[in-house]
């Protein structure tokens, strides 16, 4: 999967876990997950949505080190073989 496609698909998934007020045109890879309004409950939702959308199997704790959008992209890229 090429990186731009990965970015677009990640954004489509993250929209479901974030408040409607997030301006996605302003979100870059340095943006922290927490600043997108993703609390501990939303993070579990995001985990499930990523598993379903990318057909991946991983545990919620595998995302404990993920702090930014860039971290999440790197995690997914490694799993989906970008």
Partner 1 sequence: MTGRRRVVVTGLGVVSALGLDERALGRRLFAGEGGVRRIRAFDLAGYRCTSGAEVDDGELRAALADRGWRRVDRTLDMAMLASAQALEQAGLAARGAEHVPQAVGTLFGTGWGPTESLVANWQSYQEKGLKGLRPTTVPRCMMNAISSQVSMRFRLTGPNYVVVSACASSTVAIGMGYRMIRDGHAERVLCGGADAMFDPAVYGSWNNLGVLSRNENPERACRPFDAERDGFVLGEGAGALVLESLESAHSRGARARAEIRGYGESSDAEHVTRPSEQGQTRAMSAALADAGLEPSGLGFVNAHGTATQANDECECRSLRAVLGAEVERVPVVSSKPYFGHLIGGAGAVETIATILCLEAGRVHRSLNLDRPDELCDVHLVRERAVDLEMPTAMMNSFGFGGNNAVLVLRGGELA
37: alpha, beta or left? (left if phi > 0; alpha if psi -120 to 50): left
- State the alpha helices, DSSP H only, in 1-82: 3-17, 40-54, 69-80
Stretch that binds partner 1, among 5-13, 25-33, 42-50, 67-75 (CB under 8 A): 42-50
| Residue 64 makes contact with partner 1 by CB under 8 A | no
Number of residues that bind partner 1 (CB under 8 A): 17
Quote the tokens at residue 14. Answer: 């993250």
Q: Which of 35, 79, 41, 82 is nearest to 60 (CA)?
A: 41
The only residue of 7, 9, 31, 45 in contact with partner 1, by rule CB under 8 A? 45
Cβ nearer to partner 1, comparing 36 with 76: 36
Site for partner 1, rule CB under 8 A:
17-22, 37, 39-42, 44-45, 47-48, 52, 60
């Amino acid at each position: 999967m090429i990186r731009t496609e990965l970015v677009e698909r990640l954004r489509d998934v993250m929209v479901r876990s974030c408040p409607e007020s997030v301006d996605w045109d302003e979100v870059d890879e340095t943006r922290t997950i927490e600043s997108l309004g993703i609390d501990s409950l939303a993070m579990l939702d995001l985990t499930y949505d990523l598993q379903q959308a990318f057909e991946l199997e991983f545990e919620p704790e595998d995302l404990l080190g993920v702090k930014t959008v860039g971290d999440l992209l790197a995690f997914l890229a490694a799993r989906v073989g970008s």
